[in-house]
Amino acid sequence: MHVTGTHFTPFADRTDAGRRLAARLGQLSGPDTVVVALPRGGVPVAAEVAAALGAPLDICVIRKLGVPYQPELGMGAIGEGGVRVLNEHVIRVASVTGDQLAEVERRERAELERRARRYRGDRPPADVRGRTVVVVDDGIATGSTARAACRIVRERGAARVVLAVPVAPGDWTDRLDEVADELVCVDTPSPFFAIGAFYVDFSQTTDDEVLRLLAEAWNAPPAVAAGVDRELALPVAGVRLAGRLTVPAGARGVVLFAHGSGSSRHSPRNRYVAEYLNRAGLATLLFDLLTDAEEPDRRNVFDVGLLGFRLTSVARHLGAEDTAGPRTGAAPGTDAGTGTGTVPETRGLPLGLFGASTGAAAALHTAAELGPAVRAVVSRGGRPDLAGPEALERVSAPTLLVVGSLDTTVLDLNRRAESRLRCESELAVVPHATHLFEEPGTLDQVADLARNWFLRHLPLPGSSAETP
């Protein structure tokens, strides 16, 4: 049921809300205006405002600090740049202790950092110094997040701050007039219970929608749609292996993924890391090491010789630099692969390997097989020990082993494997992480480490020097 004031017409959705809000902001159009959205719900609204004003669109990532036993009740908010706004009245009435507040803030800070990296990647915030900044959200409830956002843009040098929302309670100006130079709202219906009550469609805005809208505003297609993004099937030794190839425009290298046992090219963790690498300008190929018919046989899952051979063959199909040389040995019952480079989009790109769990052993097997053609290897929660001492000692590519601090057995196996490596290597231990990196913020640390390692060791195409 939608509760509205006497003359209020509910918004069809956030896009409709943005258009109706933009109609009230026409006087702000011009080159000195920047529109800043509060993700996630504020982005579809702000995208319409920015388009109408002809202004650039940016984001200001905020996380509400919810009362521990009633998370929807905000006791404050945090934002980028260390901004922290508390509602002392709510904290006092709700009897929230200092320890409880600290725990909520720690959790929300990790999520804030994850979202900021996901939405913006390496793109710096818009320069707002001396400009008018229109801060946009999909509505005002307590006002904590809006207050934090206004403070952030003010501290970044905004000359004028305008807080603009489609809907808010009647007393919103009394609460927020000290943080903005101007407050704009389509309507303030009464009674006011929740923002969603004034929308026909108030479904959650997804990360994918945020990325799409930002990419459109920044005139840069999202990584998943940039350059090339396609399914493919690669012939290897009498079977066809399915994969997903993503090549951003101007890719500086390609990273081939090898998943772990019981997983596939659809692994959500590997896909998450791959998208992170795409935004950094790296192409990725996630593919199935086994066919559907082979997968049920657990002997295949742990056959590192077979998996490594297939990974090597697929690397040759990519046509990455210097991967077409002869094999030193083939797996029993297999051929050596053609090395013809049947994927033209990646031909000549520097090659990196990313292996997870048992896939890490296959990646190291391939690195040993291809020698200097592999420029870097990253292992996530891997089993490098399964590659065997001989293969480990033959790896020449700089190798990063990433393990969770709570994954004690695998951590010990990685320490032993690293001692066998003769190449540049590093063991990175992610605090408070278990084997699958399911804890908040831990997979982001993996993605950060992988991105930095590959960008450091994959030279720009046509250059033999490492990128510092």
Question: What are 29-44's pLDDT values in tens digits?
Answer: 877 899 999 988 999 9
Q: Residues 211, 249: one domain?
A: no
Is the confidence at residue 264, as pLDDT, over 70?
A: yes
Q: Residues 313, 438: one domain?
A: yes
Q: Residues 24, 108: one domain?
A: yes
Query: Would you say residue 397 lies in a domain?
Result: yes
Q: How many domains does the chain have?
A: 2
Q: Residues 192, 60: one domain?
A: yes
- Position 423, amino acid: C
Of 137-151, 155-169, 249-263, give the range with the top mean pLDDT.
Answer: 155-169
Last residue of a domain, one of 166, 183, 217: 217
Q: Residues 172, 212: one domain?
A: yes
Query: Would you say residue 184 lies in a domain?
Result: yes
Query: Would you say residue 2 lies in a domain?
Result: no
Q: Hey, is 64 helix, strand or coil? A: strand
Q: Residues 294, 196: one domain?
A: no
What is the token pair recorded at 269?
């963790």
CA gap 317, 401 in Å, rounded:
26
Q: Residues 370, 416: one domain?
A: yes
Query: Would you say residue 269 lies in a domain?
Result: yes
Question: What are 205-238's pLDDT values in tens digits?
Answer: 887 788 888 888 876 444 433 467 888 888 888 8
Domain extent, residue 312, equals 228-457
HEC secondary structure over 84-115? EEECHHHHHHCCCCHHHHHHHHHHHHHHHHHH
pLDDT given at position 369? 94
pLDDT given at position 320? 61
Query: Would you say residue 3 lies in a domain?
Result: no
Alpha-carbon distance values, 130 to 27, 158, 230 (Å): 18, 5, 44
- Position 361, amino acid: A
Q: Residues 162, 249: one domain?
A: no
CB 87 within 8 A of CB 176: no
Question: What are 365-407's pLDDT values in tens digits?
Answer: 999 999 999 999 999 999 999 999 999 999 999 999 999 999 9
Kindly report the CATH number assigned to the domain that includes residue 135.
Answer: 3.40.50.2020
Query: Would you say residue 389 lies in a domain?
Result: yes
Question: What are 90-119's pLDDT values in tens digits?
Answer: 999 999 999 999 999 999 988 888 878 778
pLDDT given at position 220? 47
pTM score above 0.95: no
Question: What are 286-306's pLDDT values in tens digits?
Answer: 988 887 787 777 787 678 888
What is the token pair recorded at 316?
């040759």
Last residue of a domain, one of 217, 247, 276: 217
Kindly report the CATH number assigned to the domain that includes residue 355.
Answer: 3.40.50.1820
Spatial CA neighbour of 30 closest among 58, 60, 50: 50
pLDDT given at position 438? 87
Q: Residues 433, 327: one domain?
A: yes
Mean pLDDT within 247-262? 86
CA gap 325, 341 in Å, rounded:
12
- pLDDT confidence band for 323 (50 / 70 / 90): low
Computed over every residue of the chain, the mean pLDDT equals 85
Q: Hey, is 5 helix, strand or coil? A: coil
Question: What are 63-92's pLDDT values in tens digits?
Answer: 889 899 888 788 888 887 777 888 899 999
Q: Residues 161, 238: one domain?
A: no
pLDDT given at position 7? 63
pLDDT given at position 117? 79
The distance of Cα 147 from the centroid of its chain, to the nearest Å, equals 26
Query: Would you say residue 464 lies in a domain?
Result: no
Query: Would you say residue 468 lies in a domain?
Result: no
Q: Residues 171, 26: one domain?
A: yes
